Amino acid sequence: MNAIARRRRPPLHWKYAVSVRKRWHRLRRLWRPDRDLEDVGYFGAEFRVAPHDVIGNELILQRFEWLQIPAMLQACRELKPAAFIDIGANFGLYTCIIGRQHLAERLIAFEPNRAVIGRLRDHIARNGVTGVEIHETAVGATHHKASLLLGAPGYDALTSVVETRPQGQQTDTEIDVVTLDETLSFAGQPLVIKIDVEGYELEVLQGAKALFGQNYGYAQIESFEDKRAAAVIAIMAQFGWQWSDHIVDDLIFRRAKF
C-alpha cells in the first residue's frame, strides 16, 4: 500500500482544542510582548522555548508530534529498550521525555548543530536526566566531513547535512559525519530509534546495516517525500523491519524479538 495512503493525522477535535490555545496565547502576548522565552511542560518533561521558534511555538500550543510521542512512549514501556537512540536530537525533546520517565537503559543523542547543542545540554540538566551520551556529529553512510545548511532564524530544526556547500547559501563550519555501525555496538537487543535528519535518512540507514540487522524494536523515521519514504520502507524491509504506521511525516517500523 502507498505510504501516503496510510498516513495518519490528528483528529478534528484535537485541532479545535489547538485553535482555542492559539487564540489564548495570542492574547497573552498582548500584555507580555517582551517575553522571549517560556517554560513549557510536555509529556512529563520541562523545556524553555522561544515563542518565535517553530518547535517552541508548537510546544506552547501543546501540539508538537502529539501522535508520535505517545506511540513511542508505549513502545518503550513494552520493549524496555537497551537504548533510545536519538538521531537529530535538536534541543532534546525526545531524549528528555524518555529520560525523565526512565524508559531506556541508555540514552544516546546525535546532534551536529552547534547552535542547539547548548540547549540540548541545558534541557538534559533541567530535567535531571543523567548519563546521556551526546555525539556532536551527524550520521550518514560513511565517516567523512560535510557541512550543515542552516535553517532560517527560528527554524534550527530544519538544518540539514549537505555534502558540498551550495553557492550563496549559509552553512555552518565543517562537521563530522559518522556511521551508526562504527559508533554503536548492539546485538540481539531491543532498541528504540528516532531519525529526524531533514532528508538525510537514506544516508543514515546506509551506515546502519548491522545496527538494524542485528537488533529489534521500534523505529520512527521522518521522511517527507513519497519517493524517499518508499525507499526507506524498502531498506528497512531488507533489514527485517516491518513498516507498521505512517503518522503525519513519520514512518513507524517494528521488528519482533528473534
- Per residue in 106-154, pLDDT tens? 999 999 999 899 999 999 999 999 999 999 999 999 999 999 988 888 8
Q: Say if residue 1's pLDDT is above 50.
A: no
Identify whether 2 is part of a domain.
no
Identify whether 10 is part of a domain.
no
The total of structural domains in the chain comes to 1
CA 181 centroid distance within chain? 19
The CA distance from 132 to 11, in Å, is: 34
Identify whether 50 is part of a domain.
no
Averaged pLDDT, 148-170: 78
Locate the DSSP E strands across 62-214: 83-87, 106-110, 133-135, 138-139, 144-149, 160-162, 175-178, 190-195
CA distances from 180 to 15, 18, 41, 137, 185 (A): 37, 37, 31, 11, 9
CA 195 centroid distance within chain? 5
Structural domain of 126: 65-255
CATH number for 139:
3.40.50.150
Start-to-end C-alpha separation, the chain: 26
Select the more confidently predicted residue: 164 or 151.
151
**Amino acid sitting at position 154:** G
- Which of 84-98, 99-113, 169-183 has the weakest average pLDDT? 169-183
Q: What is the mean pLDDT of the chain?
A: 88
Closest by CA to 190, choosing from 219, 163, 232, 148, is: 219
The CA distance from 226 to 141, in Å, is: 21
